Structure 1
C-alpha cells in the first residue's frame, strides 16, 4: 500500500466510491421491498420486478459508457454516468405510481451498468502490478460497504416508515452527485493520457479495432458471460431477498433484519479484502474455488438457526465466502480481458451476467411462496436462496477449472483502443508490432516452471 502515489490513491478512491454509490442505489429497493409493496398495493413478487428490470438494462449501459471510456478517456464518461444516476435516483424518489417507479428503475439500470467497468479500468490500470490483488478486493468491497451504509440509514425510524422509502433514493442521489464531484477534481487517467499522445486518427482506428477485438476474442466473450452469470446468481441469490427471508421465514422484525444485513456485510467486507489479497499468491481461479467451498460449508449456518445470533453468524460467514470470491473478479476480468477494451469488455461481461440473472429475486420470491415450510407453513424463501447459492457456486468452480489464468498480465503497457492493432492485444516493447499479452504470459509461465523444476 505504501508504494502508491497520491494520484494513484485518488484514482482508486474515486473508483471505489463510484462502485459504493452503485450499491447504495441498487439495494435501496431490496431493503424497502416490503414497504414498497404496501405503498403501491402490490405483492412482493411484483415489486421485485423493478430489481429485474434494473439488472436487465445494465448491459446497455456497460456497452455505451464502456465504449465511450475506451475511446474518450476514463474521466468524463464516469462523471456523466454518475450525474445521470443521481438524476434517476431522484426521479425514483418522486415516483407517484408503480408504472413511473418501474420506468425510473429501468432507466436507472442503464446508467448503473456503466459504473463497474469504468471504475475497475481506471483504478487497476494505474495500480502497481504487485498491488492489484489486494486492491481488487478493496475495490469490490465497495459494494458491501454501500449495502451496509444504506442498511444503516434504513434503521432510522423516519426512513423505516411506510412512506420513508423515498428518503433512501434522495440520499442515494446525493451520494452519486458527490462521487461525480470527486472524479471531476481528479485528472484524466495517466495511462490514457500517455496513449492519447501516440495516435491522431483515433475515430477510424477505433472502429476497426472494435471489429478486431470481436474476431479475436469471441470465445473469451462467451466464457466471460457464463462466468459472470454464475457469479451474479451467486451474489444476488444471497442478497436480494435476504431481508424478506429474515422477516417472513424467521419472523424477525424489520429492525432486526436490517441489523443482520449490516452484520452480513461486515463479513462481506472482510471476505473481499482477504480474497483479493490471497489471489496475489494462490492465483485468481484457485482463490475463487476456495471461497466458493467455504461459502457452501457455511450455508447450513445461514439457513437453520432461528435466533438473531445464529442468523447473524450465518449471514457473516456466507457473505464472507460470497464476496471473498467476488473480490477477485475485478482483477481477474481486467487481466483476461482484451487489453484495449478494459472498460467495455469486463463491464459488458459483468452486466450481461447481471441481465441473465436478473430474475433471481423473482425466482426466489415466487418459488419461496409456493414451497412452504412443512412445519410452520410459512414461505421458504431461505431454502430456495440456499439452493440457488449452492448451484451457482458449483458452476463457478467448474468455470474456474476450465478457464484461463492471466496472473500479472502487463495490460498497463498495452495499446489503447484508438491505436493501430489495439484490438489485437499488443503490448509495447517491439516497434514492429509489440508482443501479445497472451504470448508474454506464456513466456512468463515457462520461465516460472523452469525455475521451479531447477
Structure 2
C-alpha cells in the first residue's frame, strides 16, 4: 500500500527545475533569439496547420448550402465531416512514418499538394457520392499535417522557446478558421450556390504552403543525424535502412506501448473537450438564445479570438509552471467560465462567455504540441504524436451527433427547444475532467532535448538513445552546464 501511495505521489505534476523556468525571459527576447532559418521552419509548419484548418472548416461553414445543392438533409451532409475525421489516423500514420524515415521536407510538400488537389476537386464535385469520396481521401491527407508540422517546427527550436512557440503553433487552427470565416462572410460566397470558393481558397492556401516548404532546406535534425552516420562510416544500403527502420518501429512499440495508450486517451479527452465547445455552438446560439446566423458567426469569431489568446498564454506559461500544471489550470478556468457561456441572453454576454471559454479550452490545447513531442519516442516525433492526436479526433468524431441527440431529448423546460447549450457544457466539463486526470497521473519530460536523439533509421533509434548512449530525456543535474553549452553551440551552428 505504501509503495502504491509513493508511486501515485511521485507521478503528480510539479514545477520544473529552476534552470528550466524561463518565464522571466521577455517573450520578445525569446522570439528574437531565433535565427531566420528557425523562424522559416516554424512559419512553414504553422502555415501548414493553418491550411489544414481552412480546408476542414470549409465544409462546416458551407454545410447549410451543400444540403440543398446535393438534395440531402443537413445530417447527411455532416457525414462527410465524420468520414474526414475517421480517415485522419491513417494519414497520420502514413505521412508520419514517411517523415520519420525520409525526412521532414518532402513528405510535408507532398502532403500539402495532395490536400490542395483534393480541396480543388471538392469544389468541382457535382454529385454527393463524388463529394463524399473527395472528403474521405482528404481525411487521409489532412491527417498527416499536424504531426509533420509539429515535429519540424519544434525540433529546430531552442529548448527554452518551445513552450511559447507550441502555443503559437496550435493557434494556427483558430487563425485558419478566422480566415475561411472571413471569406464566408462575403455576400457572394454566402449565397446558396457560393460554396465552391471556400474550397478554392483552401486549395490556394495549401499549394502556397507546399511552395513555402519546398523553398526551405531539410530539417536541421535530419541533416545532423545523416552527418553522424557518415562520421561513423555507416554506408548501409537504402533497402537495409528501411529494414532497420521497421525493426526500430517494433522496438518502439514494445518499449513505449503504455505511453502510446496514455497519449490516445489524453487526446480523446482533449478532442471531446475542444469539439464539445465548438461543433454545435452556432446552433446553440440560434436555437437556444434566438440570435441570428450573422450574430452567431460573429460570436464564434470572437470565441476564436479567445482561443488565440489562450494558446499564446498557455504555451508561454507552461515553460514555468510545467506542461501538466498549465493544462490543469486552463481546464479549471474553462469550467469556471461555463456559467457565463450558458446564462446570458444578450449578444455581448454570450460573446464574452465564448471568448473566455475558448481561452480556457485552447489555453490547455496550446501546450499539447510541445507536451506530446517531449513524451514521445524521440525517433518517432512525426508519426507518434500525429497518430495519437488523430485517433483522439476519430473517437470524438461523434461528438456533434451525441450533442444533437442528447440536446433533442433534454429540452429546455421553458421554451421546449433542444438544450444544446446545456448538453455541450456537460460534455466540456466531463472531457475537462478526463484531461485533468490524465495530467495528474501521466508522464512529463519538461524541456527534453529530443533533438539529440537518434533518428528512426539508426540502430536503437526506437529506444530513445542519444549519441552518448544515455536516455534522451534523462540529464543529471551535474551536466546542466554542459547542456547550456551544447545549446549555445547548436544555436551558433544554426546561425552559421
Cα distance in 2 for partners of 1:200, 1:379 equals 66
Aligned to 1:317: 356
User: Does the C-alpha gap of structure 1 residues 220 and 444 become closer, same or farther in structure 2, counting only changes over 3 Å?
Assistant: farther
Would you say 1:240 and 2:279 are equivalent positions?
A: yes
1:445 Cα deviation after fit: 11
1:105 Cα deviation after fit: 1.3
User: Does the C-alpha gap of structure 1 residues 200 and 333 become closer, same or farther in structure 2, counting only changes over 3 Å?
Assistant: farther
Cα distance in 1 for partners of 2:55, 2:373 equals 25
1:40 Cα deviation after fit: 3.0
Aligned to 2:210: 180
Contact kept, 8 Å, 2:452 with 2:472, in 1: the verdict is: no
Would you say 1:69 and 2:69 are equivalent positions?
A: no
1:169 Cα deviation after fit: 1.1
Aligned to 1:48: 78
Q: Counterparts in 2 of 1:163-178, with a 5 A limit?
A: 163-178=193-208
1:383 Cα deviation after fit: 1.7
TM-score normalized by the length of structure 2: 0.86
SS in 1 for 2:72: coil
1:83 Cα deviation after fit: 0.7
Q: In the alignment, which of 336, 353, 368 is matched to residue 407 of structure 2?
A: 368
Q: In the alignment, which of 205, 221, 234 is matched to residue 244 of structure 2?
A: 205
Cα distance in 1 for partners of 2:372, 2:478 equals 19
User: Does the C-alpha gap of structure 1 residues 359 and 417 become closer, same or farther in structure 2, counting only changes over 3 Å?
Assistant: same
1:20 Cα deviation after fit: 0.6
Aligned to 1:452: none
- Structure 2 residues not aligned, in runs of 5+: 1-30, 482-496
Cα distance in 2 for partners of 1:251, 1:40 equals 28
Contact kept, 8 Å, 2:327 with 2:436, in 1: the verdict is: yes
Q: Counterparts in 2 of 1:317-396, with a 5 A limit?
A: 317-396=356-435
Deviations along 1:362-421, whole A, 9 cap, x unmatched? 212232233322222222222221111111000000000010110011101000000111
Contact kept, 8 Å, 2:275 with 2:399, in 1: the verdict is: yes
- Structure 1 residues not aligned, in runs of 5+: 449-454
SS in 1 for 2:474: helix
Q: Counterparts in 2 of 1:422-437, with a 5 A limit?
A: 422-428=461-467, 430=468, 434-437=469-472
Cα distance in 2 for partners of 1:423, 1:231 equals 27
Q: Counterparts in 2 of 1:19-58, with a 5 A limit?
A: 19-58=49-88
Cα distance in 2 for partners of 1:310, 1:302 equals 8
SS in 2 for 1:288: helix
Deviations along 1:126-179, whole A, 9 cap, x unmatched? 000000000000000001111111111111111111121221111111111111
Cα distance in 1 for partners of 2:406, 2:200 equals 32
1:262 Cα deviation after fit: 1.0
Number of aligned residues: 442
Deviations along 1:15-41, whole A, 9 cap, x unmatched? 000001111111122222322233333
User: Does the C-alpha gap of structure 1 residues 307 and 424 become closer, same or farther in structure 2, counting only changes over 3 Å?
Assistant: same
Aligned to 1:99: 129
Q: Counterparts in 2 of 1:262-277, with a 5 A limit?
A: 262-277=301-316
Q: Counterparts in 2 of 1:130-209, with a 5 A limit?
A: 130-197=160-227, 198=229, 199-201=234-236, 202-209=241-248
Contact kept, 8 Å, 2:449 with 2:473, in 1: the verdict is: no
Contact kept, 8 Å, 2:55 with 2:199, in 1: the verdict is: yes
Cα distance in 2 for partners of 1:94, 1:417 equals 40
User: Does the C-alpha gap of structure 1 residues 367 and 47 become closer, same or farther in structure 2, counting only changes over 3 Å?
Assistant: farther
Cα distance in 2 for partners of 1:242, 1:361 equals 10
Cα distance in 1 for partners of 2:375, 2:335 equals 27
Cα distance in 2 for partners of 1:146, 1:243 equals 18
Cα distance in 2 for partners of 1:186, 1:194 equals 16
Would you say 1:16 and 2:51 are equivalent positions?
A: no
SS in 2 for 1:439: coil
User: Does the C-alpha gap of structure 1 residues 316 and 347 become closer, same or farther in structure 2, counting only changes over 3 Å?
Assistant: same
1:97 Cα deviation after fit: 2.5
Cα distance in 2 for partners of 1:445, 1:255 equals 60
Cα distance in 1 for partners of 2:364, 2:447 equals 18
Contact kept, 8 Å, 1:48 with 1:362, in 2: the verdict is: no
Cα distance in 2 for partners of 1:176, 1:423 equals 32
